Structure 1
Amino acid sequence: MTTCDSSPRVLLVGATGEVGRLAATDMIGRGAHLALAGRNEQRLAELAASSGCPSRRLDAYDLDACARTGPWALVKLGRLDGVLVTIGIAGFGPAAEVPDAAAEHLMTVNALCPMAVLRGAIPAVRDGGFLAAVSGAIVNAPLIGTADYAASKTALACWLGVLAREVRSRHIAVVDARLRHMDTGFASRAVVGNPPPLRPGNDPGPEVRALIDHLVGHLAKLAPPGPRPHQGR
């Protein structure tokens, strides 16, 4: 693999989740070179073995390790065109009943972890690349019984909006992916509580495919990338 290869080189964090695995399969099918990070060690090993992609186990609570993941991907890939973070966890219940520990967990996994990954990747991503994270449609219309869950995702969305202005001079696209409610079983794996009544979820395949179309389309509009020196943290 050489840095003059124009195939996208992307760090995918959350590669062992449902959305992450779909995104990985889609991008690999398009010829992208990926560096994979995720929590589930077995799934990560299987995906890395089948794809030949470098991988790194990541715990969302280790924010220092999250911040080092972008520089790690740059070293492994030789160039970093973009970062996509698909990590997330659901949690439900009236605000007065959600335990503080559960609220902290939601904020760490849904906001602080993606922020740390993207913050650490800013110097590593090439000019004109992208920094993307999945927040979700809950940011647009929070339901009763989702206060802490919605707050964590909204915090990430707000942060991404400010980041977009801060990196505009480098022509880096910051993407707040507010994917619609999808049939992935995500709500059934909530860290606390039971989900409110939800309409049937959308097929995740087209949702993820549209996101990858957008990210890869952004890179396709750019001039061929030149080499960028490795940067550590």
Structure 2
Amino acid sequence: MDYAGKVVWITGASSGIGAALARDAASRGAHLVLSGRNEGRLAEVAAQCSETLTLPFDVRDDAALADATAKAISWKGGVDIAFANAGVSQRSRALKTDMQVYRDIIDIDLTAQIAFSQGLIGHMAERGSGALAFISSIAGKVGVPMRTAYSAVKFGLAGYGDALRAELSQTGVSVHVIYPGSVATDVARNALVADGNKRGRSDKVIDEGIPAADAAKAMLDGMAAGEREIIVAQGMEAGMGELRRTPDQLFDQIAGMVASGYMEKMESEG
């Protein structure tokens, strides 16, 4: 995958991994569409890049998403690569966590990311090219204490991405699921606690995690190399990810079902 001249749309682009992806993709010659809720911080990231369109909106707003999708596609005639990166983490025990916290995290981290993708897959499939990247987590490979909601949505996002990859395997559209471990961002500081408020402080493991710029480079390099499952972690987290890595042969087997007419057969039997 060559990023030069490609339109790359990144959600959650105002900080952290999203901002780092924007800067790295820009250095590779990409044209950027940057989205997030904080218009001021999006403008700061855009100022560090060239050929940038900012589309601030809340990913939970269906009408705003539809409007942003139309603008992103029309800007330069299409979206080539899209990163479903927006999300919020969690730091609370299940026994103490309000159900509304689960609903909010599912809405932001899973439902909204699926909606973002669904708005682009028809466009990409029709063009016969494109790439979708879903930012899951090592917590989407291994259930992690104090993150029951977060693990649930990151497992779910990975499942959606893997199934979507198989469905699109004959269209020229690639799907990549990315599993970061601890990356030095504000993810822990912005995580929701049991009552739905922001935690307001970070974790030592996050503060000492992979620099966001290094993580973004590994993600973009992995996609350029055609990796369908990209683990970006170190130490024990890397070991967890590798232990639960999906074999490429299994991905190929599922894609083979699609190539042999599995979906058409299912539809005809309906």
TM over 0.5: yes
Find the aligned partners of 1:210 and 1:139 in 2 and give their Cα distance. 18
Instruction: Supply the distance in 1 between the matched residues of 2:78 and 2:190 (Cα, whole angstroms).
Output: 35
After superposition, residues 78-227 of structure 1 pair within 5 angstroms as 78-125=77-124, 126-193=127-194, 198=205, 200-218=208-226
**SS of the counterpart of 2:55?**
strand
In the TM superposition, what whole-angstrom CA distance separates every residue of 1:98-124 from its partner, at most 9, and x where no partner exists?
A: 111211111111101111111101122
- The 1-side partners of 2:31 and 2:146 are apart by 40
User: Deviation string for 1:135-193 (max 9, x for gaps)?
Assistant: 11111122222111111111111111111111111121111111121111311211215
Q: Is the 8 A contact 1:17 1:87 kept in 2?
A: no
Task: Give distance in 1, aligned partners of 2:4 and 2:184.
Answer: 34
Q: How far is the alpha carbon of 1:217 from its aligned partner?
A: 4.6
Superposition map of 1:18-33 within 5 A: 18-33=16-31
* Cα distance, 1:79 vs structure 2: 2.5
- Residues 4 and 28, structure 2, Cα contact 8 Å, conserved in 1: no
Aligned length: 214
Structure with greater contact order relative to length (CA < 8 Å, sep ≥ 6): 1
Q: In the alignment, is the contact (CA less than 8 A) between 1:20 and 1:86 conserved in 2?
A: yes
Determine helix, strand or coil for the equivalent of 1:54.
strand
Letter in 2 for 1:13: T
Distance 2:162 2:66 in 1: 19
Q: 1:196 to 1:146 in 2, by over 3 A?
A: farther
CA RMSD of aligned residues (A): 2.2
The residue number in structure 1 matching 2:71 is 72
| Bigger proportion of residues as helix | 2
Q: CA deviation at 1:67?
A: 4.4
Aligned counterparts of 1:11 and 1:143: Cα–Cα separation in 2 = 30
Aligned-partner Cα distance in 1 for 2:139–2:66:
26
Question: Is 1:40 aligned to 2:53, yes or no?
Answer: no
Any idea what SS the aligned residue of 1:170 has?
coil
Q: Give 2:6's aligned residue.
A: 8
How high is the sequence identity, in percent, across the aligned residues?
26
Change (3 A) 1:217 1:78: farther
Q: Deviations over 1:68-114 (max 9, x none)?
A: 53332110121221111211111122212111121111111110111
Rounded to whole Å, the distance in 2 between the matches of 1:97 and 1:110 is 21
1:37 Cα deviation from its structure 2 partner: 1.1
Aligned equivalents of 2:132, 2:35: Cα separation in 1: 15
Contact 2:110–2:154 (Cα < 8 Å) also in 1: yes
Q: Secondary structure at the match of 1:117?
A: helix
Which letter does structure 2 place at the counterpart of 1:208? Answer: A
Structure 1 residues not aligned, in runs of 5+: 219-233
**Cα drift, residue 22 of structure 1:** 0.5
3-state SS, counterpart of residue 100 of structure 2: helix
In structure 2, distance between residues paired with 1:214 and 1:205: 14
